[in-house]
Structure 1
């Protein structure tokens, strides 16, 4: 069946679902396959749960006339998303980067939502499945759609751009993330810059942090740029004031007091301000949106428990974000500081070196109360005062006896480490 015909059935459906456990009445179910599952096997369950149509790529899954047999379910989902994007024809703002993507996306949404009707990627649905689902959730009455794009190998951002066809874009930063898949730090820069390449090739607009020479180098010779930064030469001037612990900045002679910690969040806030300015959002609305935004889902959250301040940043980690979090902790005022650091994943052959670098920095800048968790950190060479644990289970018995009164605690690690579990035991 042609995409145009499937699209008509999509328009008549309630929404899209890829999980039979979450189907609502009238949904269109896409029977996706993975390494350990085959959605074709759950078609009967999908109809019983209320699905109106099921998209399948196994002829044995066709159990009634409401099953649509295609060559490949995932490709059909992606093609349908692109067809929908063309049909609704709303401005799309896309962003990628090594760190801060989701926070930046939420900040941009908060700013624009003060003046426009806006929708954005839910959570971190930012891959080859998440981006199509995001696009298919957008409606033609929106003023803007914001699409977050994640990647862990070359050509992935290029592929996602082909689906989303963004009108505007930005890269939060280039960091040491997914080094294994990208083939090193230069590979990260090349891979993430595929967003710039698409925007440049299609004469679309780029928002760029002029304080980041790596980004300026990648977009060299392109004229359709809107810069933001700390100096008066920028299209949008956002002055950094302080970060102790929350980021404070100034825009249009008005101070903005965010609820985000760490100077590394300056760029994330500044681009949201720049996009707000570009689309003529009033300064007071920009200020209100930034100051009202609260981080959640284990991303740079500050949790106060009596006299203990906990910085929970356990959603993910890579060498760049880990170092930034440690530098931020170093400059904070606190009687005592505790560090719980978990392994950083997807570093490939660089894993040993990068974990040792973090361990060295930690010991050079903090005297005590250092706890390293995970197989990679366990292999590092450290002082006797640094406590290392192969797993979270090995760490657990120690947590119940710690006295954290009048202290600041940093919890950071990759998603697979799930270090937020520490909170239950402190």
Structure 2
């Protein structure tokens, strides 16, 4: 984590300061934004949100051991007799501090964005690189204008690589994150339909994702899904440095890295690359789409000199962030595929394709929630997903949410009566489904984060 004196931090963000000369050389170790966590020794950053203002807790931060605090100039009544660094905007100052700190480090950064697969790819890349280097990765959902600067400021000075996730909801957001992180390698996993509500078209989504190149090192590496023509289209619109190297991955044999043989195992996926029978890679994740995500990690590893043996070990020992098609076993023996973190048409298709291919279960059920932020075509997208559900593969469909009615309307055209259900109360859904389940069954739970379908998963685990 950042370790600088108070005066050095003030200089890094070009800020005025208010502290006695004898405290100028006090060292700050790390930053904190929440006094409910450990703030001892840190720089407290009082961020301002829609329903909170961290300035109200600055005095508490000092009581708990913070060494110094930022203070926004337009806020009255600053704490007295404590080291304060005055800034115009505390969020902007945190971003400036992260940018300055990143420039002082020798760390190389891999930035990852895309409509789906960001977190999975982040975890895959970090796992492979960790076999050879000291690696830090984005924790949880720290992938926005708050989280990415905090991730940078968590880096130790001897970190070899940082793998950072970059999320967005509109234009300009990825560019900001890329300019802060200054990645050496940029990855775009895919272009989907998420954020159509804000951006209007997949082409505009592609343009927003391609902003990751704004901060890419002039001699950096751009790794992207070569099966997506929109990336190529937008790439042609951008004047890239002649020294930037491009590497494509995907399912087509025209890519630099493509999956060949793919086989689903009990707990994960086996696959080979570029038509070569050896090595046989394994990831403890289910689905062809995850094998495709793994290709970008293999590409990164090859660029950075990780041995083939270490790549194989890194992929097979992956530790995943939760709620990305996480295979769980309930107390009853029921199998649950928890994919409740997010949902878009692309990720829903991938999850259902995986689910269709699963064998060895007596009955298969799906619990599907709304897919959010899809704009004017949201009903059409939900109907398309409903049309993909087939009674020969799935015993029962359980839909939750107002938009999810479209699943039911489509599936009801093909499923026998009594096998398709819609609920507006999760407790009723859980009770109805739980009565049908046995230890020989499997349930897929998937929906947008705002639907909070992890509550269904937690309840089923206890049944």
Q: Same fold (TM over 0.5)?
A: yes
Q: Secondary structure at the match of 1:272?
A: helix
Q: Which residue in 1 is equivalent to 2:166?
A: 149
CA distance in 2, matches of 1:163, 1:151: 14
- For 2:247, which of 210, 218, 226 is the aligned residue? 226
- For 1:388, which of 399, 405, 422 is the aligned residue? 422
Q: 1:64 and 1:364, CA in 2 relative to 1: closer, same or farther beyond 3 A? A: farther
Q: Which residue in 2 is equivalent to 1:277?
A: 302
Q: Which residue in 2 is equivalent to 1:136?
A: 153
| 149-158 or 404-413, larger mean C-alpha shift | 404-413
Q: Which residue in 2 is equivalent to 1:104?
A: 121
Say if 2:105 is the partner of 1:88: yes
CA distance in 2, matches of 1:240, 1:59: 65
Q: Which residue in 2 is equivalent to 1:254?
A: 279
CA distance in 2, matches of 1:101, 1:199: 18
Q: Which residue in 1 is equivalent to 2:347?
A: 321
Task: Please report how far the alpha carbon of residue 314 of structure 1 lies from its aligned counterpart in structure 2 after TM superposition.
Answer: 0.9
Q: Which residue in 2 is equivalent to 1:265?
A: 290
Q: Which residue in 2 is equivalent to 1:55?
A: 70
Q: Is the 8 A contact 1:176 1:185 kept in 2?
A: yes
CA distance in 1, matches of 2:32, 2:140: 16
Q: Which residue in 1 is equivalent to 2:431?
A: 397
Task: Please report how far the alpha carbon of residue 233 of structure 1 lies from its aligned counterpart in structure 2 after TM superposition.
Answer: 6.3
Q: Which residue in 2 is equivalent to 1:336?
A: 363
Q: Which residue in 2 is equivalent to 1:370?
A: 397
Q: Which residue in 2 is equivalent to 1:350?
A: 377
Task: List runs of 5+ in structure 1 lacking aligned partners.
Answer: none
Cα RMSD (Å) = 2.6
Task: Please report how far the alpha carbon of residue 366 of structure 1 lies from its aligned counterpart in structure 2 after TM superposition.
Answer: 4.4
CA distance in 2, matches of 1:44, 1:320: 47
Q: Is the 8 A contact 2:363 2:394 kept in 1?
A: no
Q: Which residue in 1 is equivalent to 2:224?
A: 208
CA distance in 2, matches of 1:335, 1:267: 29
CA distance in 1, matches of 2:384, 2:392: 12
Say if 2:380 is the partner of 1:359: no
CA distance in 2, matches of 1:315, 1:233: 32
Q: 1:51 and 1:360, CA in 2 relative to 1: closer, same or farther beyond 3 A? A: same
Deviations 1:366-424 (A, max 9, x none): 45410001121136524254100123233233134222332221111111222122232
Q: 1:349 and 1:229, CA in 2 relative to 1: closer, same or farther beyond 3 A? A: closer
CA distance in 1, matches of 2:319, 2:445: 18
Q: Is the 8 A contact 1:299 1:312 kept in 2?
A: yes
- For 2:445, which of 411, 415, 422 is the aligned residue? 411
Q: 1:316 and 1:11, CA in 2 relative to 1: closer, same or farther beyond 3 A? A: farther
Q: 1:394 and 1:61, CA in 2 relative to 1: closer, same or farther beyond 3 A? A: farther
CA distance in 2, matches of 1:346, 1:237: 31
State the aligned residue count. 425
- For 1:79, which of 96, 107, 111 is the aligned residue? 96
Task: Please report how far the alpha carbon of residue 231 of structure 1 lies from its aligned counterpart in structure 2 after TM superposition.
Answer: 6.9
Task: Please report how far the alpha carbon of residue 2 of structure 1 lies from its aligned counterpart in structure 2 after TM superposition.
Answer: 4.3
What TM-score, normalized by structure 2, do the two folds share? Answer: 0.85
Q: Is the 8 A contact 2:405 2:422 kept in 1?
A: yes
Q: Secondary structure at the match of 1:241?
A: strand
Task: List runs of 5+ in structure 2 lacking aligned partners.
Answer: 1-9, 18-22
Q: Secondary structure at the match of 2:322?
A: coil
Task: Please report how far the alpha carbon of residue 59 of structure 1 lies from its aligned counterpart in structure 2 after TM superposition.
Answer: 3.4
Q: 1:280 and 1:66, CA in 2 relative to 1: closer, same or farther beyond 3 A? A: same
CA distance in 2, matches of 1:363, 1:241: 23
The answer to which structure has the higher helix fraction is 1
Q: Is the 8 A contact 2:13 2:93 kept in 1?
A: no
Say if 2:12 is the partner of 1:3: yes
| 28-37 or 276-285, larger mean C-alpha shift | 276-285
Task: Please report how far the alpha carbon of residue 199 of structure 1 lies from its aligned counterpart in structure 2 after TM superposition.
Answer: 3.4
Q: 1:181 and 1:240, CA in 2 relative to 1: closer, same or farther beyond 3 A? A: farther
Say if 2:14 is the partner of 1:14: no
CA distance in 2, matches of 1:353, 1:342: 15
CA distance in 2, matches of 1:193, 1:106: 21
Q: Which residue in 1 is equivalent to 2:45?
A: 30
Q: Which residue in 1 is equivalent to 2:317?
A: 292
Deviations 1:39-66 (A, max 9, x none): 1111111111111111121232343331
Q: Is the 8 A contact 1:392 1:417 kept in 2?
A: no
